[in-house]
Amino acid sequence: MTRRAPALRAARKNGLAVEDSGAGEDAIYEKLLTAIFEHRLPPGTKLGEDRLAGIFGVSRARIRSVLPRLAHEGVVRLEPNRGAFVAKPSVAEARDVFETRRILEPAIAQKLALDRGRRSDLAPLRQHVAAEARARASGDTRAVVRLSGEFHVLLAERSGNEVLAKAMRELASLTCLIIALYDKPSVPSCLGEEHGLIVDALAAGDGDRAARLMTEHLNHVEGNLDLVLPDDAPVDLEAALR
């Protein structure tokens, strides 16, 4: 307990301390996942157990419980004798992700548009699009990336197919990593107005248009990436998670 005290005090000072409890594990998981989604922890970042335990003011055992959950989501890879790293999709994997999304997501959009009961209340989707617009207006790029991914997950969840929703959550996580790794700084990877057009097609019950708009949207996202592997850069874990 004495050895942990300085780290715990530092973590509390930075607003990161989480008590060793079930809720604490969830909070650490969410903080790490959000930091990855918002590009504060870029692909390839080493997630050392000792450093994370010190940052959050918890035991290494607690960190060891969190990292496999992130690995299950596909956003962290666990390497024997090396530790945990933020996943780093290759160019080929990035193209595979978008190919998979072009197969699944137009079908999800069409299914939702043709289901009168499920498309009857699109308020959550419209509210989400509005939140994206506010983030863009304020220049909050990290929030824009996170919200853009969440839009696609929300769409899949509203389709009523949990298998599709689970697949979309994993694909959205991988896409956030791909954008973090291959994004062109001067070009927005995901255009918010395209989300609004998709919601309009859903509201009109136009399944073909919704599917077409989704395909065009995914093509635009992939086309705005620079699919050349960049050099690694050191990352300050404490600053990224503060």
Give the pLDDT score at 41: 87
Of 63, 88, 113, the residue at which a domain comes to its end is 88
Classify residue 10: in a domain, yes or no: yes
List per-block mean pLDDT (blocks of 10 residues) for the chain, which spans 242 residues.
44 46 74 82 90 91 93 89 92 95 96 86 92 89 83 92 91 86 64 88 96 96 81 68 72
Q: Give the H or E element holding residue 40.
A: none
Same domain? 32 vs 80: yes
Query: Is residue 25 within 8 Å of 65, Cβ to Cβ?
Result: yes
- Give me the pLDDT at residue 188, please: 54
pLDDT value for 200 = 96
pTM score of the predicted model = 0.71
Between CA 211 and CA 228 the distance in angstroms is 29
Same domain, residue pair 82 and 111: no
In a domain, 240, yes or no: no
What pLDDT sits at residue 98? 97
Q: For residues 52 and 43, what is the distance between their CA atoms, to the nearest angstrom?
A: 17
Q: What amino acid occupies position 147? A: L
Helix (H, G, I), strand (E, B) or coil at 133: helix
pLDDT at 217: 96
d(CA 73, CA 147): 18
DSSP tag of 224: T
**Residue 233 CB contacts under 8 Å (≥ 6 apart), including other chains:** 42
Phi, psi of 117, rounded to the nearest 5 degrees: -65, -45
- Cβ atoms of 227 and 182 within 8 Å: the answer is yes
Q: Tell me, yes or no, whether 61 and 119 share the same domain.
A: no
The CATH code of the domain that includes 145 is 1.20.120.530
- Please name every residue paired with 182 in a beta bridge, in sequence order, or none if there are none: none
The C-alpha atoms of residue 42 and residue 44 are separated, in whole angstroms, by 6
What is the structure's pLDDT at 187? Answer: 53
Strand partners, 183: 225
Question: What domain range is 157 assigned to?
Answer: 91-223
pLDDT given for residue 207 in this prediction = 95
Whether residue 148 lies inside any domain: the answer is: yes
Chain centroid, CA 94 distance in Å: 14
Report how far apart the first and last C-alpha atoms of the chain are (Å, whole number).
Answer: 23
- Please report whether residue 228 resides in a domain: no
Same domain, 101 and 208: yes
Q: Which amino acid is at 36?
A: I
Considering the domain architecture, whether residues 54 and 126 belong to the same structural domain is answered as no
Helix or strand (DSSP H, E) at 76: strand 76-79
Sole residue written with tokens 């999709």: 89
Give the per-residue pLDDT at 191. Answer: 62
Note the pLDDT of residue 17.
46
